[in-house]
């Protein structure tokens, strides 16, 4: 039998493709027929962006996976529709959508986690309007915002409620939010433990391996099973010496840059983007920014789950919804708070927040070199670098305006890697 790590890596190699239908109650095909037709398959939903409340997608029983780009395939069409000033990841995702690389998608949901995602949403919405020949699926925006204020909290709560209602309308079924949150919390708990394996000295996972472990496109329950096995097999994992690197900056939706850096003999033991450590948060309801701990809290009070739109059940969305339940009550309220304070990503946090996070994270993973990687078209991380460098007591290197999927490593090869 494959080791769990090998199985996760194999799954990761299939990223950007819908997970196979499973019998799993949470993620698999929904029990009942869609639209009253029997034998209808579960909706397949591709999502974009770090701020997607994936719990709601799980709760809706759809088959869901994160859309990722591919630096090796042509994205000229993405350039055309989005312009070349946008993060190439979004351009690549758009090109792949137009090429049908993601298989048959029923819906696309996009979060406003960065400017590139928002522009991707606008482009898809407009293509659907003016070029129906592109035959793109319906696209929906989940507008979660991040200013640390109550005005924003209230707005997010409303948007989460609207998204839940939209999902119920799509599937015709009530959401099992509590069950989905519990499953994702369990996955988070296991991912946090896997992150500790990478932080060990010497590291028991490479950065490249951790990307695979965290982003294997599996239904939550299948992912949980493999993560449990990975932890059980931890004693048999290889040890990885090499200079310990903290990778800051742009998102990495593919392993290319990790592979390039680790080929030089480094090990990436931590990072601050949404495909890596930033996806390893505390549980929903724990009150904001958890750092991979095994939290308390859990769901908050009350919750959804019973009844729902269209089924005439009891309670349902209305009670947890906007207005009625107030800001923080119920599973939806807890989710809204969780995503409000997720991060700190380069695109939504301030330079000061990013620097504070970097200083703590670098200590925690005992990194020896800090590498800020900024993709051309993704300018936010470059603004963080001066404050990050000032907050660190290890050498820091800035790689600016990097091509998608590549890293110019000359600066890392210098003996004193501090170019400024």
Partner 1 sequence: MPHVRSRSVTSLATAAEAGRHQREWFADLRRRVAGGEPFALLNADVPHEIFRTMDIPYAVSQWWASLVTAKQRSVHYLELVRQRGYPDYSEQYNSVTLGSAFDPEPEAGPWGGLPKPNIVVGDASGDVTRKIFDIWGHEPGVTFYPLESAAENDIPVNWWELMPHRWEEAVGPARLDLLTAELENLVRFLETTTGRRFDESRFREVMALVNEQEEWNRKTRALIAHARPSPLSVVDSIPSVMLPQWHRGTEWARDIAKRFYEEVRDRVDAGQAACPGERARLMWIGRGLWYDMGFYQRFQEKYGAVFVWSMYLAIAADGYIRYGDDPMRALAARFAAFSDQLYTPPWSSEWYVKEARLHGIDGVVHLVSDDPRGSYFTARALEAAGFPVIEIHADNVDGRTFDDDVVERLGQWLENVVMA
Q: Which residues bind partner 1 (CB under 8 A)?
A: 80-85, 112, 114-115, 118-119, 121-123, 125-126, 129-130, 140-141, 143, 145-147, 149, 151-152, 154-155, 158-159, 162, 346-348, 350-352, 377-380, 382-386, 389, 400-401, 420
CB of 184 to partner 1, least distance (A): 24
CA distance 331 to 305: 9
CA distance 410 to 36: 60
> Which of 128/297 has CB closer to partner 1?
128
CB of 271 to partner 1, least distance (A): 18
Cβ neighbour number for residue 157 with a 10 Å cutoff? 25
Distances (CA, A) of 98 to 9, 118, 121: 27, 17, 14
Cβ neighbour number for residue 268 with a 10 Å cutoff? 30
CB of 164 to partner 1, least distance (A): 14
Contacts of 345 (CB under 8 A, 6+ apart): 50, 113, 114, 251, 272, 273, 274, 278
> Which of 77/193 has CB closer to partner 1?
77
CB of 141 to partner 1, least distance (A): 5
Give the 3-state secondary structure percentages of the chain, helix then strand then coil, rounded to 5: 45, 10, 45
> Which of 166/208 has CB closer to partner 1?
166
CB of 391 to partner 1, least distance (A): 13
Nearest CA to 59 out of 165, 179, 140, 156 is that of 179
CA distance 278 to 272: 6
DSSP H helices, 62-111, are 76-82, 88-99
- The two structure tokens encoding residue 91: 């351009």
> Which of 30/120 has CB closer to partner 1?
120
SS3 396: strand
> Which of 181/322 has CB closer to partner 1?
322
Work out the angle between the directed axes of helices 220-232 and 4-13 (0-180°, nearest 10): 140
> Which of 94/267 has CB closer to partner 1?
94
- The DSSP call for residue 298 is -
CA distance 355 to 349: 10
* Cβ proximity of 420 and 396 under 8 Å: no
* Cβ proximity of 285 and 334 under 8 Å: yes
> Which of 24/168 has CB closer to partner 1?
168
> Which of 8/358 has CB closer to partner 1?
358
> Which of 40/383 has CB closer to partner 1?
383
- Annotate 276-297 with DSSP letters as a single string: TGGG----TTS-S---S---S-
β-pair type (396-402, 243-249)? unpaired
Return the half-sphere exposure (C-beta side, CA atoms, 13 A cut-off) of residue 148: 10
> Which of 47/140 has CB closer to partner 1?
140
């Amino acid at each position: 039998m494959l080791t769990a790590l090998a199985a996760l890596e194999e799954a990761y190699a299939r990223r950007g493709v819908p997970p196979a239908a499973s019998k799993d109650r949470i993620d698999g095909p929904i029990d009942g027929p869609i639209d009253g037709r029997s034998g209808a398959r579960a909706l397949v939903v591709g999502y974009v962006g770090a701020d997607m409340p994936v719990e709601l997608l799980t709760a809706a029983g759809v088959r869901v996976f994160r859309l990722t780009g591919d630096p090796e395939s042509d994205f000229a069409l993405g350039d055309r529709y989005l312009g070349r000033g946008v993060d190439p990841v979004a351009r690549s995702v758009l090109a792949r959508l137009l090429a049908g690389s993601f298989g048959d998608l029923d819906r696309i949901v996009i979060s406003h986690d960065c400017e590139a995602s928002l522009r991707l949403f606008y482009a898809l919405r407009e293509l659907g309007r003016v070029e129906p020949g592109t035959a793109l699926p319906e696209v929906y925006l989940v507008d979660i915002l991040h200013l640390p204020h109550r005005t924003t909290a209230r707005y997010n709560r409303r948007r989460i409620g609207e998204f839940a209602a939209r999902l119920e309308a799509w599937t015709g079924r009530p959401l099992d939010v509590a069950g989905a949150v519990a499953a994702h919390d369990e996955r988070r708990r296991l991912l946090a433990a896997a992150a500790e394996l990478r932080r060990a000295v010497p590291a028991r996972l490479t950065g490249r391996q951790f990307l695979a472990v965290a982003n294997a496109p599996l239904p939550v329950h299948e992912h949980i099973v493999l993560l449990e096995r990975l932890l059980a097999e931890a004693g048999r994992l290889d040890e990885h010496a090499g200079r310990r690197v903290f990778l800051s900056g742009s998102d990495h939706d593919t392993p290319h840059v990790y592979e390039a850096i680790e080929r030089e003999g480094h090990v990436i033991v931590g990072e601050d983007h949404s495909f890596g450590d930033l996806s390893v948060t505390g549980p929903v309801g724990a009150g904001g920014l958890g750092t991979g701990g095994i939290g308390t809290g859990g769901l908050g009070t009350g919750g959804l789950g019973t009844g729902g739109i269209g089924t005439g059940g009891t309670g349902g969305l209305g009670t947890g919804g906007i207005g009625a339940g107030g800001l923080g009550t119920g599973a939806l309220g807890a989710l809204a708070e969780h995503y409000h304070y997720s991060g700190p990503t380069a695109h939504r946090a301030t330079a000061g927040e990013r620097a504070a996070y970097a200083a703590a994270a670098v200590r925690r993973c005992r990194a020896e070199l800090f590498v800020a990687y900024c993709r051309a078209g993704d300018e936010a991380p470059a603004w963080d670098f001066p404050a990050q460098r000032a907050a660190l007591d290890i050498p820091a290197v800035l790689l600016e305006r990097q091509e998608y999927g590549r890293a110019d490593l000359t600066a890392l090869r210098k003996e004193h890697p501090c170019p400024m």
